Structure 1
């Protein structure tokens, strides 16, 4: 967990946005570990009852066990091995040379032989340094890719968590609607037995109970699917939790679109282009170093058979040719750099546009939610109270009461949908900017 959260040196990328509790990743490490262990203990103490999981637990388990993140550890190990290999210079060469052997005249046989045993090595100090630097730059690219993948996993898990939470709250409303219909049916049956209402009213009320029960069953199926999708984020085939902890009524923050768009520049999706530019720059330096003069030194000892004497020998070899022999390779790498810059600029414009769209959609969803809770739902609650009073006095029929109840339920569902959609926009904005919305300038509830 810590390794994933600290991939990027910019601390604002260490914040994983929580739309339900607004906690930073630093807080997340401590509270998640406690919450995760607490959930495990509650399950062990009561194996028949599965615990509910929190947002922090869901993100923590996803970052720990998501299949897409497993391979990056091995890629980093391979990159570390490449760095170690790049630091190895060329091996020295041991050579044995025999001269003046098996000739004619004075150098026939081996009496005039000269035997030289020597060692030679290629001086590549600067080349090795550049090769190591190029290999190290590749680690940064893998790190950016790993961070992008971790943010994607966290965002996906957050969306699945919100989906479970939304279905959970919809199920509560659906079950409440069933209970209201059952209560209405019981009242109507009492009136039928008293001769105040015809039996047809009871039949219609019974049908209403069945319709609302079917609607609740639909939500139950969607709820089960959502839990399986969330559990799959950490590799579970069957959810080991009964539900989630949270509330979609969490107030939505106001956002500053201009400020948000400025934060896009530090998105890992853009940083990876800079990392690739640096890789190309290191490879250019390596290509230029390899094109330079690389001296080869040799030293050894020579035995003269004719006089039975020994002598030291030494030599140096300098390659010939122009120093710009890697000019084509350097030009290709420079073209790659220009390509990365162009792609980064295009990607930055795309991300800024997405942030703008998400922020505008967030504002709209927030306006809908505020309108629902500020005016529409209170008006419908008052209308339901008045309808219930009139129904008890016999002035309204059951269907007018049922209609008022359904209007209020529909309004609450619309409010939940607006809140659910807004929280999805918050997650996307957090993913694009790396900021916790609770820390935006001008934050308000």
Structure 2
């Protein structure tokens, strides 16, 4: 498509946008009495208007039914979490029996590592990406330290980071595959972010998973920036496990519950360790209060505690919207609107002497989602503050990167054009 940097062109794209009606399903903050241009759905998604309705429903059931809400609410709390299995399976490319919701992201990754990181003296190394999100780095460090004390390996040798080549912004897939084969039989686990939070790079989940399995390692994925953003086929790709937060692209509210995936190949493996709890026990016999743990068949057998229904309610409102729209349409608009944003950035770059924007996110649509990370060469944090004061909510990362995420469900093409004009003023003023 031949893009144009005009309001009329952006408005024409909006008129032909098959997802345009969903913008009205979200609540926008306002700055200067106008809806903001919101580019931080990769950090916290906007609130679906239906979320409040779903939370209010739970509150009303609690008030009128109290404990009986577990069984007699319109959406009984007893099995509230099971409503997520089908729609989440479609979002991440799994089977309904392979997905569930519980806890928060890092908690779930720790719990899943109980099953999938079982190091020995000969097989104990973990591959991750350089500059992974800090929470993942802390998780790796503490998991390795915990096991090293019991097994006896050197924890300083356990974590292997795949680094970017000198002068490059992104990690090369061939370097990941080469490192997997170099470590070989010493490799216990590959655990990488499906989309790097800093650069927006999408990793080749299928190829990395296949290569990890060839050397006998488990392969898991932190999908915090991937779920609801990129195409996933976790079952087909034979990913062992994954987890994701729900409050970024899936708009469930701050710090809300995490989704998780366990491949069906592991559901009947009695050799896998897991931490057990009441809600992972056989559903049909749960209230018999039996002393011996009998796990639910499937991913929900990894559940531990009963679910926080008030937290699930806004997530359900969003997940139902995803089910209605479908990932195919979301990805189609994502590719178009992200390309338009990139075009606008380059146009402003050409128009203003001294402006230099370097998009460090890969150009290929197969290697990026809806986030563009941009180096603002010659610009400081003052430009970021100018954007914020003028109604553009974006994200600053040191040393001088802004992350822009035009989320397809609620970002318009006119937003992209208007952002360009505000950006131009910020540089020229």
Task: State the TM-score, normalized to the length of structure 1.
Answer: 0.22
Based on CA coordinates, which of the two structures has the bigger radius of gyration?
1
| Higher-helix-fraction structure | 1
| Higher-strand-fraction structure | 2
Task: State the TM-score, normalized to the length of structure 2.
Answer: 0.23
